Protein backbone atom coordinates (compact mmCIF):
# COMPACT_ATOMS: atom_id res chain seq x y z
CA UNK A 1 0.00 0.00 0.00
CA UNK A 2 1.21 3.51 -0.89
CA UNK A 3 2.11 5.84 1.97
CA UNK A 4 -0.45 8.65 2.44
CA UNK A 5 2.25 11.25 2.87
CA UNK A 6 5.71 11.26 1.33
CA UNK A 7 8.48 13.77 1.91
CA UNK A 8 11.62 13.77 -0.16
CA UNK A 9 14.97 15.52 0.18
CA UNK A 10 13.51 18.17 2.47
CA UNK A 11 15.90 21.07 3.10
CA UNK A 12 15.02 24.13 5.11
CA UNK A 13 17.04 27.28 5.67
CA UNK A 14 16.45 29.88 8.34
CA UNK A 15 18.36 32.61 6.51
CA UNK A 16 21.81 31.10 5.97
CA UNK A 17 21.34 28.39 8.58
CA UNK A 18 20.42 25.00 7.11
CA UNK A 19 18.12 23.45 9.71
CA UNK A 20 17.04 20.40 7.67
CA UNK A 21 19.65 18.67 5.49
CA UNK A 22 17.66 16.47 3.15
CA UNK A 23 15.02 14.45 4.99
CA UNK A 24 13.28 11.50 3.29
CA UNK A 25 10.39 10.09 5.23
CA UNK A 26 7.05 8.52 4.35
CA UNK A 27 3.99 8.03 6.49
CA UNK A 28 1.40 5.29 6.26
CA UNK A 29 -2.25 5.50 7.13
CA UNK A 30 -3.32 3.90 10.41
CA UNK A 31 0.16 4.34 11.87
CA UNK A 32 1.78 6.51 14.48
CA UNK A 33 5.28 7.70 13.62
CA UNK A 34 7.41 9.15 16.42
CA UNK A 35 10.07 11.75 15.60
CA UNK A 36 12.69 11.72 18.27
CA UNK A 37 16.02 13.47 18.83
CA UNK A 38 17.76 16.07 20.98
CA UNK A 39 16.51 19.62 21.37
CA UNK A 40 17.34 21.76 18.34
CA UNK A 41 17.78 18.86 15.87
CA UNK A 42 14.92 20.09 13.68
CA UNK A 43 11.92 17.98 14.72
CA UNK A 44 9.48 20.87 15.06
CA UNK A 45 10.86 22.54 11.97
CA UNK A 46 10.19 19.41 9.94
CA UNK A 47 6.72 18.91 11.43
CA UNK A 48 5.73 22.51 10.63
CA UNK A 49 6.63 21.94 6.98
CA UNK A 50 3.82 19.42 6.72
CA UNK A 51 1.04 21.90 7.43
CA UNK A 52 2.95 24.80 5.87
CA UNK A 53 3.42 26.77 9.03
CA UNK A 54 7.02 27.56 8.04
CA UNK A 55 7.08 28.68 4.48
CA UNK A 56 5.22 31.95 4.90
CA UNK A 57 7.77 33.10 7.50
CA UNK A 58 10.27 35.75 6.44
CA UNK A 59 13.74 34.38 5.71
CA UNK A 60 12.65 30.73 5.52
CA UNK A 61 13.27 28.75 2.35
CA UNK A 62 12.24 25.16 1.79
CA UNK A 63 13.09 22.74 -0.98
CA UNK A 64 12.14 19.13 -1.53
CA UNK A 65 8.85 17.43 -2.21
CA UNK A 66 5.83 16.88 0.01
CA UNK A 67 3.00 14.81 -1.39
CA UNK A 68 -0.24 14.13 0.43
CA UNK A 69 -2.61 11.72 -1.33
CA UNK A 70 -0.48 12.23 -4.43
CA UNK A 71 -0.87 16.02 -4.38
CA UNK A 72 2.06 18.40 -4.02
CA UNK A 73 1.17 20.44 -0.93
CA UNK A 74 3.61 23.19 -1.98
CA UNK A 75 1.99 23.56 -5.38
CA UNK A 76 0.93 27.17 -6.11
CA UNK A 77 -2.57 25.76 -6.54
CA UNK A 78 -2.65 24.40 -2.98
CA UNK A 79 -5.06 26.27 -0.71
CA UNK A 80 -3.26 26.56 2.64
CA UNK A 81 -6.51 26.87 4.61
CA UNK A 82 -7.77 23.65 3.02
CA UNK A 83 -4.45 21.98 3.82
CA UNK A 84 -4.77 22.94 7.50
CA UNK A 85 -8.14 21.15 7.55
CA UNK A 86 -6.55 17.99 6.17
CA UNK A 87 -3.53 18.29 8.44
CA UNK A 88 -4.41 19.20 12.03
CA UNK A 89 -1.84 20.16 14.65
CA UNK A 90 -1.53 19.99 18.43
CA UNK A 91 1.18 21.99 20.20
CA UNK A 92 3.14 21.53 23.40
CA UNK A 93 1.23 24.31 25.15
CA UNK A 94 -2.53 23.73 25.01
CA UNK A 95 -4.09 26.59 23.02
CA UNK A 96 -7.88 26.46 23.37
CA UNK A 97 -9.75 29.51 22.14
CA UNK A 98 -10.82 31.70 25.08
CA UNK A 99 -14.44 30.70 24.84
CA UNK A 100 -16.63 27.82 25.98
CA UNK A 101 -15.66 24.16 25.66
CA UNK A 102 -18.65 23.65 23.41
CA UNK A 103 -17.75 26.53 21.11
CA UNK A 104 -14.14 25.35 20.89
CA UNK A 105 -15.13 21.92 19.66
CA UNK A 106 -17.98 23.19 17.48
CA UNK A 107 -15.79 25.87 15.90
CA UNK A 108 -14.47 23.92 12.92
CA UNK A 109 -17.88 22.36 12.31
CA UNK A 110 -19.53 25.79 12.17
CA UNK A 111 -16.81 26.94 9.79
CA UNK A 112 -17.86 24.01 7.60
CA UNK A 113 -21.39 25.42 7.67
CA UNK A 114 -22.98 22.92 10.05
CA UNK A 115 -25.73 24.78 11.91
CA UNK A 116 -28.06 21.98 12.99
CA UNK A 117 -27.99 22.03 16.80
CA UNK A 118 -28.58 18.32 17.19
CA UNK A 119 -25.79 17.46 14.77
CA UNK A 120 -23.41 19.87 16.49
CA UNK A 121 -24.31 18.43 19.91
CA UNK A 122 -23.62 14.91 18.69
CA UNK A 123 -20.32 15.73 17.04
CA UNK A 124 -19.13 17.78 20.03
CA UNK A 125 -19.96 14.97 22.44
CA UNK A 126 -18.43 12.27 20.24
CA UNK A 127 -15.21 14.26 19.84
CA UNK A 128 -14.90 14.98 23.54
CA UNK A 129 -15.50 11.30 24.26
CA UNK A 130 -12.85 10.29 21.72
CA UNK A 131 -10.41 12.66 23.39
CA UNK A 132 -11.20 11.06 26.78
CA UNK A 133 -12.32 14.32 28.41
CA UNK A 134 -16.11 14.09 28.13
CA UNK A 135 -16.74 12.95 31.68
CA UNK A 136 -14.68 15.83 33.05
CA UNK A 137 -16.37 18.58 31.03
CA UNK A 138 -19.90 17.35 30.28
CA UNK A 139 -21.47 19.40 33.10
CA UNK A 140 -19.46 22.49 32.20
CA UNK A 141 -19.70 22.72 28.43
CA UNK A 142 -20.47 26.43 28.72
CA UNK A 143 -17.48 27.14 30.91
CA UNK A 144 -14.49 28.87 29.34
CA UNK A 145 -12.03 26.26 28.09
CA UNK A 146 -9.07 28.16 29.54
CA UNK A 147 -10.45 27.65 33.07
CA UNK A 148 -9.69 23.91 32.94
CA UNK A 149 -6.41 22.23 33.89
CA UNK A 150 -3.60 22.03 31.34
CA UNK A 151 -4.26 18.35 30.71
CA UNK A 152 -7.97 18.96 30.22
CA UNK A 153 -7.26 21.92 27.92
CA UNK A 154 -4.98 19.75 25.79
CA UNK A 155 -7.65 17.07 25.47
CA UNK A 156 -10.20 19.77 24.56
CA UNK A 157 -7.78 20.88 21.83
CA UNK A 158 -7.55 17.29 20.61
CA UNK A 159 -11.36 17.08 20.56
CA UNK A 160 -11.49 20.33 18.57
CA UNK A 161 -9.14 18.80 16.03
CA UNK A 162 -10.92 15.42 15.84
CA UNK A 163 -14.28 17.13 15.31
CA UNK A 164 -13.22 18.19 11.81
CA UNK A 165 -11.82 14.76 10.94
CA UNK A 166 -8.44 15.63 9.44
CA UNK A 167 -6.45 13.01 7.55
CA UNK A 168 -3.15 13.71 9.23
CA UNK A 169 -2.56 14.70 12.86
CA UNK A 170 0.69 16.40 13.84
CA UNK A 171 1.54 16.55 17.53
CA UNK A 172 4.52 18.58 18.75
CA UNK A 173 5.47 17.26 22.20
CA UNK A 174 1.79 17.23 23.17
CA UNK A 175 2.31 15.77 26.62
CA UNK A 176 5.57 17.46 27.69
CA UNK A 177 3.77 20.15 29.65
CA UNK A 178 1.22 17.81 31.25
CA UNK A 179 0.73 15.70 34.35
CA UNK A 180 1.27 11.94 33.98
CA UNK A 181 -2.42 11.05 34.10
CA UNK A 182 -3.34 13.42 31.27
CA UNK A 183 -0.32 12.20 29.31
CA UNK A 184 -1.47 8.61 29.68
CA UNK A 185 -5.02 9.56 28.60
CA UNK A 186 -3.63 11.22 25.49
CA UNK A 187 -1.42 8.24 24.63
CA UNK A 188 -4.42 5.96 25.02
CA UNK A 189 -6.53 8.24 22.82
CA UNK A 190 -3.89 8.20 20.07
CA UNK A 191 -3.77 4.41 20.14
CA UNK A 192 -7.57 4.22 19.93
CA UNK A 193 -7.93 6.63 17.00
CA UNK A 194 -4.90 5.70 14.92
CA UNK A 195 -6.95 3.32 12.75
CA UNK A 196 -8.70 6.36 11.28
CA UNK A 197 -5.73 8.68 10.90
CA UNK A 198 -2.08 9.16 10.00
CA UNK A 199 -0.35 10.44 13.11
CA UNK A 200 3.09 12.02 13.52
CA UNK A 201 4.25 12.84 17.03
CA UNK A 202 7.39 14.72 18.04
CA UNK A 203 8.57 13.56 21.43
CA UNK A 204 11.76 13.69 23.45
CA UNK A 205 10.70 10.56 25.31
CA UNK A 206 11.99 7.20 24.08
CA UNK A 207 9.52 5.58 26.48
CA UNK A 208 6.63 7.41 24.86
CA UNK A 209 7.85 6.51 21.38
CA UNK A 210 8.16 2.85 22.31
CA UNK A 211 4.74 2.78 23.97
CA UNK A 212 2.70 4.28 21.18
CA UNK A 213 4.48 4.45 17.84
CA UNK A 214 4.55 1.98 14.96
CA UNK A 215 7.59 3.65 13.43
CA UNK A 216 10.32 5.71 14.93
CA UNK A 217 12.57 8.18 13.15
CA UNK A 218 15.63 9.53 14.96
CA UNK A 219 16.95 12.95 14.01
CA UNK A 220 20.28 14.56 14.78
CA UNK A 221 21.54 17.95 13.55
CA UNK A 222 18.87 18.26 10.86
CA UNK A 223 19.36 14.75 9.49
CA UNK A 224 17.61 11.44 9.91
CA UNK A 225 19.99 9.01 11.54
CA UNK A 226 17.77 5.97 11.90
CA UNK A 227 14.25 4.95 10.92
CA UNK A 228 12.32 1.75 11.17
CA UNK A 229 9.63 -0.16 12.91
CA UNK A 230 9.51 0.78 16.57
CA UNK A 231 9.37 -2.83 17.71
CA UNK A 232 12.61 -3.52 15.84
CA UNK A 233 14.38 -0.37 16.95
CA UNK A 234 13.63 -0.75 20.63
CA UNK A 235 14.21 -4.49 20.84
CA UNK A 236 17.59 -4.47 19.12
CA UNK A 237 20.47 -4.10 21.58
P1 LIG B 1 13.62 20.67 17.76
O2 LIG B 1 12.17 20.71 17.49
O3 LIG B 1 14.24 19.36 17.42
O4 LIG B 1 13.97 21.08 19.17
P5 LIG B 1 13.74 22.99 16.03
O6 LIG B 1 13.08 22.55 14.79
O7 LIG B 1 12.94 23.82 16.97
O8 LIG B 1 14.35 21.72 16.79
O9 LIG B 1 15.05 23.81 15.65
C10 LIG B 1 16.00 23.34 14.71
C11 LIG B 1 17.07 24.41 14.51
O12 LIG B 1 16.53 25.54 13.83
C13 LIG B 1 17.69 24.94 15.79
O14 LIG B 1 19.04 25.22 15.54
C15 LIG B 1 16.91 26.20 16.04
O16 LIG B 1 17.67 27.12 16.77
C17 LIG B 1 16.65 26.71 14.63
N18 LIG B 1 15.39 27.46 14.53
C19 LIG B 1 14.15 27.02 14.89
N20 LIG B 1 13.23 27.95 14.62
C21 LIG B 1 13.88 29.01 14.09
C22 LIG B 1 13.49 30.29 13.58
N23 LIG B 1 12.20 30.66 13.58
N24 LIG B 1 14.44 31.12 13.12
C25 LIG B 1 15.73 30.74 13.10
N26 LIG B 1 16.18 29.55 13.54
C27 LIG B 1 15.28 28.70 14.04
P1 LIG C 1 11.29 -3.78 8.06
O2 LIG C 1 9.91 -4.28 7.80
O3 LIG C 1 12.39 -4.55 7.41
O4 LIG C 1 11.55 -3.47 9.50
P5 LIG C 1 10.50 -1.11 7.75
O6 LIG C 1 9.11 -1.27 7.23
O7 LIG C 1 10.68 -0.84 9.20
O8 LIG C 1 11.36 -2.38 7.32
O9 LIG C 1 11.19 0.11 6.99
C10 LIG C 1 11.68 0.06 5.70
C11 LIG C 1 12.27 1.43 5.42
O12 LIG C 1 11.20 2.37 5.27
C13 LIG C 1 13.06 1.98 6.59
O14 LIG C 1 14.41 1.66 6.49
C15 LIG C 1 12.86 3.48 6.52
O16 LIG C 1 13.97 4.15 5.95
C17 LIG C 1 11.70 3.68 5.58
N18 LIG C 1 10.65 4.52 6.12
C19 LIG C 1 9.76 5.12 5.32
N20 LIG C 1 8.92 5.85 6.03
C21 LIG C 1 9.25 5.71 7.32
C22 LIG C 1 8.72 6.25 8.54
N23 LIG C 1 7.66 7.06 8.57
N24 LIG C 1 9.31 5.91 9.68
C25 LIG C 1 10.33 5.11 9.66
N26 LIG C 1 10.86 4.56 8.55
C27 LIG C 1 10.34 4.87 7.38
CA quadruple 60, 64, 69, 72: dihedral positive or negative? positive
Any idea which ligand is nearest the CA of 3? 2
Say what the pLDDT of residue 74 is.
96
Say what the pLDDT of residue 201 is.
98
CA of 10 to the centre of ligand 1 (A): 15
ipTM exceeding cut-off 0.85 for this assembly: no
Is the predicted pLDDT of residue 55 greater than 90, yes or no?
no
Distances (CA, A) of 129 to 117, 185, 220, 225: 18, 11, 37, 38
Which is nearest to 92 in space by CA: 168, 164, 19, 150?
150
Pairwise CA distance, residues 223 & 199, whole Å? 21
Identify which of 45, 201, 222 to mutate to test ligand 1's pocket (most ligand atoms within 8 A of the CB).
45
Say what the pLDDT of residue 236 is.
59
pLDDT in tens, 126-168: 999 999 999 999 999 999 999 999 999 999 999 999 999 999 9
Pairwise CA distance, residues 149 & 182, whole Å? 10
Q: Is 106 in the pocket of ligand 2 (CB under 6 A)?
A: no
| Strands 215-220 and 223-229, sheet pairing | antiparallel
Is the predicted pLDDT of residue 1 greater than 80, yes or no?
no
Is the predicted pLDDT of residue 235 greater than 80, yes or no?
no
Q: Which alpha helices (DSSP H) does 38-133 contain, by range?
A: 43-50, 80-86, 101-111, 117-130
Contact 17, 74 (CB under 8 A): no
CA of 80 to the centre of ligand 1 (A): 22
Distances (CA, A) of 116 to 121, 146, 166, 168, 179: 9, 26, 21, 27, 36
pTM value is 0.89
pLDDT in tens, 23-54: 999 999 999 999 999 999 999 999 999 999 99
3-class secondary-structure state, position 4: coil
Contact 37, 206 (CB under 8 A): no
Contact 179, 150 (CB under 8 A): yes
CA of 24 to the centre of ligand 2 (A): 11
Amino acid sequence: KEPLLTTNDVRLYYGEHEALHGINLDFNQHEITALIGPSGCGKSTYLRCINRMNDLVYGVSITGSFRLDGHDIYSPKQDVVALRKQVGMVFQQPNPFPFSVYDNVAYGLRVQGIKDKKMLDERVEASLRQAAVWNEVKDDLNKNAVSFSGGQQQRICIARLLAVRPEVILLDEPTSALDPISSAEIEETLLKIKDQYTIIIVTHSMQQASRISDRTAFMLNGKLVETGKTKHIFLNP
